[in-house]
Amino acid sequence: MLEFQFASLAAFCEMAPHGVYVWPTYGLGLLVLGGLTLANVRQHRRAIRMIQRNLERE
C-alpha cells in the first residue's frame, strides 16, 4: 500500500501534468501556517516589551 507513486524524484517534482497547481498550493499552505506562527511569537514579544516599558516608566 505504501509505494512511491512516481517513476523518479524528478517525476514527483513535475507531478505531470498538475505540478504547477499542486506545489504552489502546498507552498501557500506552508506560508500561512508559518506566517501565523511567526505573527503569534511577535505579538507575544511585543506585549511583553510594552508591559516592561510601562513598568520602567512607573
Partner 1 sequence: MGWRWFHQWGSPRWFYERAGRWQLVCGWLALTLLIMGSLWGLALAPVDYQQGNSYRIIYLHVPVAFLAQALYAAMAVCAVVLFVWKMKLADVAMQSIAVMGLAFTALSLISGAVWGKPTWGTYWVWDARLTSMLILAFLYLGVIGLRAAIQDPDQAGKACGILVLVGVVNLPIIKYSVEWWNTLHQPASLKLTEKPAMPASMWIPLLVNIVGYYIAAVYLILGSMRAIVLERERRSAWVRELVSRA
Rounded CA-CA distance 55/58 in Å is 5
Phi, psi of 23 (to 5 degrees): -65, -45
Site residues, partner 1 (CB under 8 A): 1-6, 12, 15-19, 21-22, 24-26, 28-29, 32-33, 36-37, 39-41, 43-44, 46-48, 50-52, 54-55
Give me 52's grid cell.
516592561
Min separation Cβ 18 and partner 1, Å: 4
Cα separation, 11 vs 43, whole angstroms: 41
CB of 49 to partner 1, least distance (A): 9
- Residue among 10 and 55 whose Cβ is closer to partner 1: 55
